[in-house]
Structure 1
Amino acid sequence: MILDLFVWFLAGFTILNLGYYLYFSKFSFITKSTCDRTSTTLSDIAPHASETIDAVSVIICAKNEEENLKRLLPLLLEQNHPNFEVVVVNDYSKDNTLEVIESFMEKDSRVKLVDIVPNESFWGNKKYALTLGIKKARNNKLLFTDADCTPASKSWISEMTQQLVDKKTIVLGYSGYEKIKGSFLNALIRFETAIAATQYLSYAVRGNAYMGVGRNLAYTADQFYASSGFMSHMKVLGGDDDLFVNEAANRENVAVSLNPDSFTYSVPKKSWNAWWKQKRRHINTAGHYKWKHKIALGLFFVSQIGFFASAVVAGIFSPFWMIVLGIIVLRYLVTWLVIGYAFKKLQESALVWFYPFYEVILLFSQGALYFNNLVAPPRYWE
């Protein structure tokens, strides 16, 4: 029996696609103890050195964030870490962001301010604002989040920065979105966030990190200056997180934090238009990744498109429908298993049941976003 080309195409794309999910499986089945194996305790470095080695600067870039800062800053100041400061960069806000920051400074000396005035060369550039915040920071350990985020626990600072020792100069964390019951858009946003995290954290645990998320990211000031900061991509909108990690990461200097206490959660977009604008800005930076990462991510997208297209065509035109069905079932058994365990780590297990449905929607959305950005790329950080 000679199988027709439809089945061979389906089999080929399925094998390619499953190769990626097997690559992701190390993250899905890794244990926290395995991930933390390379971390070093303070006593291993220098006895009684917590005042210097353990000191952390939390950096937040805020643009018209007065209400979010009222929620976030009290939670940060309640963190149980023994030695930290909170550097808030007011990026020329038009609301009362500056006044909110100053009121917290009066109450707690750990809150520091960087107040930015308009700069013609760097107008609307978040990287410029963050650079000034980093220069203001007193400590080598830097921890970043956004004003609309909240830490999952009072141990967030400690959990995210404890692996910044020895050769580890970058720590990737997970930042999800708050759940809104009954909202399909919210479920889709959370699913897309968990899928993206599964991918970039999978690459990281294999020593091939290509991005991080600025809502929950730590690195040292030494690493920032050694990489010349954001200079190589200062003119690119976005990328203060993923482009920096893409350039600075190597096989030895990246750690991943899997403890749920190290997670952060953001306020999700509540309209399709707002979410679309956000994703346009995010996807705009992928074209500046290293070539090996652009090729790898591009082939993954091709494997997904190829699988669905060939499955439909083979299902309609191939007489070997049992073989076609078997290939499709095999693909979903493997991917569902890998994603299921990954989502369990990310505290999003409830979304796994609708995985095939969300996957198709995201696939078409990503394609539309890519072509939308080709026609009219975003130009400003909002």
Structure 2
Amino acid sequence: MEAFTFDHTEKILLVATGILFITQVLYYFCLYNRIHMRSRATKRGDTHFTQELPPISVIICAREESENLRRNLSAVLEQDYPQFEVIVINDGDTDESEDYLTLLEEKYPHLYHSFVPGSSRYISRKKLAITLGIKASKHDWLVFTDAKCLPQSNQWLRLMARNFTSRTQVVLGYSGYERGKGWLHKRVCFDNLFTSMRYLGFALAGSPYMGIGRNLAYRKELFYQHKGFSAHLNLQRGDDDLFINHVATPENTRVETDVNAIVRVQPVVRAKDWREEKISYASTSRLYHGAQRWLAGLETLTRLAFYGTWTATLVIGILNFHWLAASIAFLLFLLRFATQAVIINHTAKDLEEKRRYYFTLPVFDMLQPVQSLRWKLYCLFRKKSDFLRK
């Protein structure tokens, strides 16, 4: 009977570990499993799509991107879609982008390009470029991507457009990384997958709160109704996540996760580039409206607390030769790990991600919130001017 008797400390730790375990499992089944659930529903034919294919304006902002334009732009221009235009706003003219775009317009009459005036100052050049592209566009539906992004198939626009119902004003798509090598690439891919499971999961649950401009669509009238980026014009960025946070609602937002609607980004080569991207998003995340930011933070907090309590219970159980307490703690860890592995890897398979996460999962699971804290600390200790328009 002594095996079933727990001291006061063990009881507290076991109860805390159990509560944190239940909280974590609920997050995985109710939030992070949403993309997989959506994929299954779509395959069963349970998801409603429109048959209309309205004209589309694809807007791409490019800054010194001649190499990426040569590599990726043709795949955008050759989409299997009845009527669309592609508008490239060239920011910077020190490379060969201008000459290449002019030459390409001769082959593709639905390609147009313009540029950000070199004299533009004291305003976010990215926001100005997007605004110029929107003003130049001919059609109501706008689709956004980056010069460094490559559509996974020529059905990208068709699949995004099947979500353009009469009530829809925003469509969020998934962007993943192309296959790469090295530890940095593994970290970046996991972080991207997990972040997407979070913000797309919230959107699929009826609580959209952000979007990423690599694969995003919204109506032009929505942009003008909310006066463009005026709500956060003082910030250097926020053209995608903050804008969507400002305009998206449960009624006007849909999510597209079909594998042929994915755009792929080139692998990150330098840790510095990824760090700057993450810091820039961290700088605007504190301005998000809605409870989603706090709910995401609660998941991270309970995750770290779970690691702390199950480890403490395991250690105390071993030191006290109380194997039942140690076994319960380890069993809860294994059950959570199994839940994670199944949901994350099913989602990765649905999105045709090349990597699977088993042995590396606990490492990335702990590393991800540590990295997030690191980005936020960078924001605190940097000058505020680093995040304001220039």
Separation in 2, partners of 1:325, 1:73: 51
SS at 1:120 equivalent: coil
Separation in 1, partners of 2:356, 2:99: 40
The answer to whether structure 1 residue 104 and structure 2 residue 77 are counterparts is no
Q: Which range moved further: 207-216 or 345-354?
A: 345-354
Separation in 1, partners of 2:14, 2:237: 42
Question: What's the CA shift for 1:34?
Answer: 6.7
Give the partner amino acid of 1:120: R
SS at 1:350 equivalent: coil
User: Which residue of structure 1 lines up, in the alignment, with residue 17 of structure 2?
Assistant: 10
Normalising to structure 2: TM-score of the pair? 0.89
Question: What's the CA shift for 1:159?
Answer: 1.2
**Is the 1:237–1:285 Cα contact (8 Å) retained in structure 2?**
no
SS at 1:313 equivalent: helix
CA deviations 1:327-362 (Å, max 9, x no partner) are: 212211222222122112111263222322222222
> In structure 2, which of residues 25, 35, 41 is the aligned counterpart of residue 27 of structure 1?
35
SS at 1:297 equivalent: helix
Separation in 2, partners of 1:153, 1:81: 12
Cα RMSD of the aligned pairs, angstroms, is 2.0
The answer to whether structure 1 residue 328 and structure 2 residue 327 are counterparts is no
Question: What's the CA shift for 1:56?
Answer: 0.6
Aligned-pair identity in percent equals: 28
Q: Which range moved further: 25-34 or 284-293?
A: 25-34
Structure 2 residue runs of 5 or longer lacking an equivalent are: none
CA deviations 1:194-237 (Å, max 9, x no partner) are: 11111111111111111111111111112222222221122223
Separation in 2, partners of 1:16, 1:339: 17
The answer to whether structure 1 residue 87 and structure 2 residue 95 are counterparts is no
> In structure 2, which of residues 348, 354, 357 is the aligned counterpart of residue 352 of structure 1?
357
User: Which residue of structure 1 lines up, in the alignment, with residue 232 of structure 2?
Assistant: 233
Q: Which range moved further: 195-204 or 315-324?
A: 315-324
Q: How does 1:279-358 map to 2 (within 5 A)?
A: 279-318=278-317, 319=322, 320-348=325-353, 350-353=355-358, 354-358=360-364
SS at 1:348 equivalent: coil
Judged with a 3 Å threshold, the aligned counterparts in structure 2 of structure 1 residues 165 and 374 are, in CA distance, closer, same or farther, namely same
Normalising to structure 1: TM-score of the pair? 0.91
User: Which residue of structure 2 lines up, in the alignment, with residue 69 of structure 1?
Assistant: 69
Structure 1 residue runs of 5 or longer lacking an equivalent are: 43-49
Judged with a 3 Å threshold, the aligned counterparts in structure 2 of structure 1 residues 74 and 381 are, in CA distance, closer, same or farther, namely farther
Larger Rg, first or second structure (1 or 2): 2
User: Which residue of structure 1 lines up, in the alignment, with residue 263 of structure 2?
Assistant: 264
Question: What's the CA shift for 1:162?
Answer: 2.2
**Is the 1:340–1:349 Cα contact (8 Å) retained in structure 2?**
no
User: Which residue of structure 2 lines up, in the alignment, with residue 46 of structure 1?
Assistant: none
Separation in 1, partners of 2:240, 2:369: 23
> In structure 1, which of residues 349, 363, 366 is the aligned counterpart of residue 369 of structure 2?
363
Separation in 2, partners of 1:349, 1:331: 23
Judged with a 3 Å threshold, the aligned counterparts in structure 2 of structure 1 residues 38 and 239 are, in CA distance, closer, same or farther, namely farther
User: Which residue of structure 1 lines up, in the alignment, with residue 190 of structure 2?
Assistant: 191
